[in-house]
Amino acid sequence: MPHPRPAPLLASRLTKIEPFHVMRILADAQALEAAGHDVIHLEVGEPDFPTPPPIIDAGIRALAEHKTFYTGACGLPQLRAAIAGFYVSRFGLQIDPARIIVTPGASGALQLILALLVGRDDEVLLADPGYPCNRHLVSLFEGQPVNVPCGPETRYQLTAPLLEAHWSPRTVAALVASPANPTGTLLELPELKALADAANRHGGNLIVDEIYQGLVYGRPHETVLSVTDDVFVVNSFSKFFQMTGWRLGWLVAPEWAVADLEKLAQNIFLAPPTPSQHAALAAFEPATLAILETRRQELQTRRDALAAGLVELGFELSAVGDGAFYLWADARRFTTDAVQFAEQLLHEEAVAVTPGVDFGQAETMLRFAYTQTQPRIEEALARISRFISQH
């Protein structure tokens, strides 16, 4: 039915927020599955593991005890203390729990930080390729995302020299991710320290997305907080702790920013979900951490198998991701248009992958997520091999 009046004007930010190309892949994949095809999902940015049983059990106990009322805007004090305890036990770091704000997902954390720092036309530097929601959230607050092309020579990461080259009088912050999505690559602690120092020298701020923290392979777990307190850190219970649908994350802020962030939290979302917070108290228990370590090792095995298989097929992995659960592969030996490649691969061999254009200027790149079991990954590699040989 046509709208009975002229379509109302929408906020101009809507034109800057693009839909994800992968949504079309997802819709097609679902249609194929509905038609009886066996689709292998290497496009999904969500761990395939269910939430560890101790966390589930804690959630059930919380509900049975009617722990369903609002908490404070910054979260349960005992959860903020537990997160601080995790920084002590894992990294040997003393973080004042008052600097830790529990949020509805990492999305909520990033929203608070950007609402605090980003005014009209203020610029935020981001690595291209990068997670698209991050730049869209900058636009949401009327800021200007500045996508800095980052190639294999910096493992697709923003570095201090790149920051210096792109910092302008309007720049207020740089946002990096370690491990990163879509590449799985990490920044080294000295690189993070140099980035924070450079941003601070300019009177700006560094924001570090650590939502894949803990999902690292063949190297130690790290946090930027080991090298500076003058940084905003975004973290999450979704990925390493495998609590995606619970919508729970946290941020660590410099002390000077806490009062304003709390004011924003009160207004933007009132409080993070209560049952999720009680469940998350079990995330740091030894039994949970043991389960998570087994799963981390399983992801490493998958990563190694997928990386080796893709290279053998002729994909280029210029910087093998040491973290998260993604590989960022160049398909230029097979195509000049990875969107078309991904669509054909799905329709001919029922393997779903994410085209690189969702993450930046990356016409021949594909993101492979190893969020499937190893036999499924082997099967996907066999199908991709057949697909390539027939084109």
Site for a copy of itself in 153-212 (CB under 8 A): 172, 200, 203-205
CA torsion through residues 86, 90, 92, 93, sign: negative
The string of DSSP codes covering 324-335 is TTEEEEE-TTT-
Identify the CA nearest to 150 among candidates 369, 368, 365, 382. 365
From the list 93, 98, 264, 313, which residue makes contact with a copy of itself (rule: CB under 8 A)? 264
From the list 88, 270, 287, 308, which residue makes contact with a copy of itself (rule: CB under 8 A)? 270
> Is residue 375 part of the contact set for a copy of itself (CB under 8 A)?
no
From the list 74, 126, 137, 148, which residue makes contact with a copy of itself (rule: CB under 8 A)? 137
Residue 306 tokens, joined? 């997928």
> Is residue 260 part of the contact set for a copy of itself (CB under 8 A)?
yes
Cα–Cα distance, 343 to 23 (Å, whole number):
12
Identify the CA nearest to 25 among candidates 11, 8, 41. 41
Yes or no: say if 345 and 316 are a contact pair by the CB < 8 Å rule: no
> Is residue 19 part of the contact set for a copy of itself (CB under 8 A)?
yes
- Return the residues of window 313-372 that contact a copy of itself according to CB under 8 A: none
Identity at 282, one-letter amino acid code: A
- Return the residues of window 20-59 that contact a copy of itself according to CB under 8 A: 20, 46, 50-51, 56, 59
Stretch that binds a copy of itself, among 69-77, 214-222, 312-320, 338-346 (CB under 8 A): 69-77
Identify the CA nearest to 75 among candidates 249, 242, 229, 209. 249
Stretch that binds a copy of itself, among 63-71, 77-85, 147-155, 212-220 (CB under 8 A): 63-71
Alpha-helical regions (H) of 35-98: 53-64, 77-91
Of 5 and 36, which CB lies nearer to a copy of itself in the complex structure?
5
Site of tokens 């291209």: 128
Q: Which residues of 244-271 are buried (b: 16+ CB within 10 A; e: fewer)?
A: bebbbbbbbbeeebbeebbebbeeebeb
Stretch that binds a copy of itself, among 255-263, 281-289, 312-320, 379-387 (CB under 8 A): 255-263
Of 59 and 309, which CB lies nearer to a copy of itself in the complex structure?
59
Stretch that binds a copy of itself, among 215-223, 267-275, 298-306, 328-336 (CB under 8 A): 267-275
Query: For 240, which DSSP code?
Result: S
> Is residue 115 part of the contact set for a copy of itself (CB under 8 A)?
yes
Beta carbon of residue 179, minimum distance to a copy of itself (angstroms, whole number): 19
From the list 144, 183, 276, 335, which residue makes contact with a copy of itself (rule: CB under 8 A)? 276
Of 132 and 356, which CB lies nearer to a copy of itself in the complex structure?
132
Beta carbon of residue 312, minimum distance to a copy of itself (angstroms, whole number): 32
Cα–Cα distance, 179 to 238 (Å, whole number):
14
